[in-house]
Amino acid sequence: MHTRKLFILALLLVNAIVFTGCFGDKDKDSGSAAPATYVTLNGTLTAPQQIESSLLGNVLQNTDSQVRTAFKAATVYVNGYPVTTFTISDMASNADWPIKIENAPQSSTGLYAIDVVAGNITLKSKVRDNEKSEFKINLETTAAAMLADTVGRAQHELLTTYPAFVNTLKNELAASAKKTAAALAVGSIINDVTVVAALASQTARLKSIADLTTSARFAYLQLENDLDGDGKIDLYVKPNSSGQRVSFYTPLSSDTSML
């Protein structure tokens, strides 16, 4: 009888040890997680050439102190998350300012969607992993990033292959940057009614193109094309009555090329 009691006590002791080993000290491991990995992004930020002062009235140049101060105090997002450890080295003599974003969470997709918000001005850029050390963020990349979201194509592809479409939207963004805050009335230039309309029209035209998978470095053309992004039409396309041939001409010359 005594031996039986000792056996039962030993069995209970073993069970207690096993139970504690399986479930004891639960809090020690439950909160442990692999530390997040962070990256540094280096690039060049170019503010719109002219900005209405009430957005950041008189129109300001992008090298004016008020514009530079506003961008140094901007809010920066990377893939939707705010990043506070950034520097913008503004210069009065140069409109292209070095920007360095530190401690940005590493992207599992290798793509970094950057938003810089200064007052009513929002600049965007979708930066690939191999561009982390030298990216650009300006009105052109903003237009391309917006189209990338609606068309489903990469920003770099739109910039190289479809510049006329990108520049049409870029020019609307530039025009919105010169509106007063009261006239804008939508919080940011990217939400301005004329910008939204241009985004919709350029998206529809891009989607109407049959081949959106090309990697060739050529440009699809519209009836009016701003190829260099300076806000002026460089190339006009004029179909003839039969629709079988197309005339190309520029405002610099009366010469016409036929295709």
Q: What is the largest CA-CA distance in the chain?
A: 118
- Per residue in 80-122, pLDDT (tens digit) is 999 999 999 988 888 999 999 999 999 999 999 999 999 999 9
Give backbone dihedrals phi and psi of 48, rounded to 5 degrees, phi first. Answer: -55, 145
Tell me what pLDDT residue 84 has. Answer: 93
123 and 137 Cβ atoms separated by less than 8 Å: yes
CA distance linking residue 71 with residue 57, whole number of Å? 19
Tens digit of each residue's pLDDT (9 = 90 or more) over 200-245 = 999 998 887 745 554 444 456 777 877 777 777 877 877 766 666 5
Count the alpha carbons within 13 Å of 83 in the hemisphere toward its beta carbon. Answer: 25
pLDDT at 60: 86
Task: Report pLDDT for 104.
Answer: 95
191 half-sphere exposure, CB direction, 13 A CA radius: 11
136 vs 176: CA distance, rounded Å: 21
Residue count of the chain: 259
Q: Look up the pTM and report it.
A: 0.71
21 φ/ψ angles, rounded to the nearest 5 degrees: -65, -35
Sign for the CA dihedral angle at 182, 186, 187, 189 comes to negative
Dihedral angle, C-alpha 113, 116, 119, 122, nearest 10 °:
-50
pLDDT at 58 over 80: no
Q: What is the pLDDT of residue 7?
A: 47
* 168 has pLDDT over 90: yes
- Most confident residue range from 57-66, 124-133, 212-221, 239-248: 124-133
57: nearest Cα among 231, 187, 183, 192: 183
CB 165 within 8 A of CB 204: no
Query: How many CB atoms sit inside 10 A of residue 229's CB?
Result: 20
Which pLDDT tens digit goes with each residue over 183-197? 887 889 999 999 999
Token pair belonging to 39: 């990256």
